[in-house]
Amino acid sequence: MADVIPLKAKRSGADVVALAEFGTGDTIPAAVLPAVAARTDVSKTFKAQQVPYAGALTDGATIAWDGDANGQVVSVTTAAARTFGAPTNIKQNALYVLILTTGGFTPSWNTAFKWPSGGAPSPLVSGVYVFTFVGGASNTLIPTGPGYLTGA
């Protein structure tokens, strides 16, 4: 169902834009439209703090991370040794967080995860790890640290 925006008064003239896309059929002054048309499903640069979309990854032999579908802050609990596949829809310079709960299973990582020369952290003990990444070019994720065991 399309969004419905209640309007208290109708206006006409050059400063009015039709809201057919919102499903009301009413009109709204064009000066108000930028506030109404703010979207959270497109990439933007903000000058104030924002809350990123948080989602979950699905445990499986290969774990897929789609930045658009799963979000920038994701969690997954692994039931065995897994492989993190190449991430998709990653925005360059955006911050990404992976919260990994593992029973001591050390994952393998696709080469799109650009670990420093020491490689990915290994072995992992049972616990909750927080990994932070910065989005790189061509759907790569660049770790900003080794991954931290939270003790949770």
pLDDT surpasses 90 at 99: yes
Ranking 7-11, 51-55, 81-85, 87-91 by mean pLDDT, the lowest is 7-11
- Convert the pLDDT of each residue in 63-88 to its tens digit: 999 999 999 999 999 999 999 999 99
Average pLDDT, stretch 52-56?
90
Asked if 63 and 88 count as a contact pair (C-beta separation under 8 A), the reply is no
Q: Which helix (H) or strand (E) holds 99?
A: strand 95-103
Q: Which residue has the higher pLDDT, 24 or 146?
A: 146
The closest of 87, 60, 86 to 71, measured between CA atoms, is: 87
Cα–Cα distance between 3 and 6 in angstroms, integer?
10
pLDDT at 16: 47
Cα–Cα distance between 125 and 76 in angstroms, integer?
16
- Convert the pLDDT of each residue in 103-140 to its tens digit: 899 999 999 999 988 788 888 889 999 999 999 999 99
Model confidence at 150, in pLDDT bands (50, 70, 90)?
A: confident
Distance of CA 152 to the CA centre of its chain: 23
- Convert the pLDDT of each residue in 29-41 to its tens digit: 555 555 545 666 6
pLDDT surpasses 60 at 20: no
